[in-house]
Amino acid sequence: QTCALPISAVMTPADQAFPIALLVTEAVTNALKHAFLGRDNGAIRVTLRNDPEAGAELTIRDNGIGMDTEARPRTKASGSGGIGYSLIEGFARQLRGTIETSVSDGTCVTVRFPHLSGRKAAP
């Protein structure tokens, strides 16, 4: 599997950095565990954009089988997602953000939240 991380260098306070890091870790872990079943390769792309006017947008996209596919194991009786996705939702709430998930040529999780409040990192 390949993982591309085109993320701008931005300093942010711990109350934003920790949930961002944990959200990315959980989403990438979910993709590695579920998205590429029966395949030898796949790609995961993580992007983070920050616009002081519009807010920040974190996107984790894979080109796997899609989270609604019957081949994907489910751990909740409702079939709407597992513990990992519940954690992602919780981290999005910590960021005071909204979460959107789409399935098209893989799974894409997008979290939008108020802009990153830290200063720009030194190059």
CA atoms within 13 A on the CB side of 8: 15
Average pLDDT (37-49) is: 89
For residue 15, what pLDDT is reported?
87
What's the first-to-final CA gap in the chain, in angstroms?
Answer: 28
Check whether 116 has a pLDDT greater than 60.
yes
The pTM of the full predicted model, rounded to 2 decimals, is 0.77
Q: Scanning the structure block, which residue is given the tokens 């872990």?
A: 29
Residue 102 Cα distances to 13, 78, 90, angstroms: 29, 18, 18
